[in-house]
Structure 1
Amino acid sequence: MASPTLQVLRISASPRGAQSESLRLSQQILEALAARSAQNGDPAIELTELDTNLLAPVDAAYAATLAAHCTVRTC
């Protein structure tokens, strides 16, 4: 009997990007999991990636705007 699809969320936050050691390690882990899944006849891994380096940085103006709209009930 096949197992349900393994869902993985990989969050990349290293400023080194593709040169990141943690990214390389996580890739090796994902490849090993995929190989084991294929060997067992399980569904492929569903990978969702979030690269925090692509997000805009929070600056003082943004923080001030958020604070101006903040009340005790909304924050």
Structure 2
Amino acid sequence: MPRPSAAQLCLGTFTVVASAVALLAVSGAEGVLEVGVLVVFALALGTLVTVLSSVSARSSRVPAPASPGHEYARQR
């Protein structure tokens, strides 16, 4: 699997931070274990976003069409 681009890493990092802040704010978790579980969940979500954006970017690439000169060279 190819390495994610800088934009995909930034998207994943933003997802981790935003989801961790949102989960901690909404849940009101105070214990170390509760906070740890929420942070691990946010990390898993950010990793999933990075992988899915990498896969979708790879599948949306369209191969460049061959130039007409290459087809002529193959016919000979």
Structure 1 length as normaliser, TM-score? 0.37
Counting strand residues as a fraction of each chain, which structure ranks higher?
1
Larger radius of gyration: 2
